[in-house]
Amino acid sequence: MILSIASGKGGTGKTTVAVNMALSLKDVQLLDCDVEEPNVHLLLHPNINEEKSVYVSTPQVDEELCDHCGKCGEFCQYNAILVSSEKVLVFLELCHSCGGCVIVCPGKAISEEQHRIGTLKCGSTGDLEVVYGELDVGEPMAVPVIREVKRRIESDKTVILDSPPGTSCPVIETVKGSDFCVLVTEPTPFGLHDLRITVQVLEDMEIPFGVVVNRAGLGDKKVYEYCEEKNIPILLEIPYRRKIAELYSKGIPFSSEMPEWKEKFQTLFDEARKLAGK
């Protein structure tokens, strides 16, 4: 089963849920897809046994072969190529590596070269396999690194995907193909606002989902009212407790110091699997 952990809002506790659930189950892969700011490894301290660079293909124009016909620029929907009468400018930050410009160039003046955008790291903590990516500073495209992380999914294992915040392309790429998505929210106006957006995205993607309320007891009841109105199951509440916050601030998953929570996360997973029809 592939289980993604998402939330429209940053800082709601996605990584907290992902890490503690992974530690509560057996034969698990934990993939941190928040490649712009991965932090699963800060809580688990895995022994890294593999590290490789992630590359994307980008266009390289041979000005001697180019007749400046402009077809490559007309084709590119992301305006990554600007053709003038004297020169062709390529904006790598806008390129989505589709390779279309190479195909449409009548003079075969465009080739592709590899451009490094990040790093993939694989390791383990005990029996738990950990995979995460790191986007290089200044690189705008997180999705190719996320794809590289997801290529390490082993279908015979339980896979937990820790998603980036928000509802943009990196989140879509992360949750795509999931059997179930756990939405982590908090009982605040900001938490509710971003939960609504994420629910709409998952409904459009036809991915079944349920909610975990983190910092329960803080804020108001509007998140609960919304879930009841939309018939969204609330799978778990994590209370607003000082001990949990202190353990997190020290980089310690709270289920390792509060073992009664392992059973609760196992129950959360079982309920998600049941709702996913697995």
182: domain range? Answer: 2-27+157-276
* Whether residues 78 and 14 fall in one domain: no
Q: What is the pLDDT of residue 8?
A: 82
170 found inside a domain: yes
Report the CATH number at residue 71.
3.30.70.20
Mean pLDDT throughout 68-83?
A: 96
Q: Is a pLDDT exceeding 90 seen at residue 278?
A: no
Q: Is a pLDDT exceeding 90 seen at residue 206?
A: yes
Q: Is a pLDDT exceeding 90 seen at residue 3?
A: yes
260 found inside a domain: yes
Q: What is the pLDDT of residue 263?
A: 96
- CA 139/CA 142 separation, integer angstroms: 8
Mean pLDDT throughout 37-51?
A: 96
CB 120 within 8 A of CB 95: no
* Whether residues 104 and 198 fall in one domain: no
Query: Could you tell me where the DSSP H helices lie in 83-221?
Result: 100-104, 143-150, 169-175, 189-205
- What percentage of the chain carries pLDDT values higher than 90? 96
Q: What is the pLDDT of residue 219?
A: 87
Q: Is a pLDDT exceeding 90 seen at residue 51?
A: yes
**Which tens digit of pLDDT belongs to each residue from 223-257?**
999 999 999 999 999 999 999 999 999 999 999 99
* Whether residues 75 and 161 fall in one domain: no
- pTM for the full model? 0.92
Q: What is the pLDDT of residue 30?
A: 98
* Whether residues 196 and 254 fall in one domain: yes
For the chain, the domain total comes to: 2
Cα dihedral sign, 155-124-162-149: negative
Among 63, 91, 116, the domain boundary falls at: 116
For 42, residues 6+ apart whose C-beta sits below 8 A from its C-beta are 251
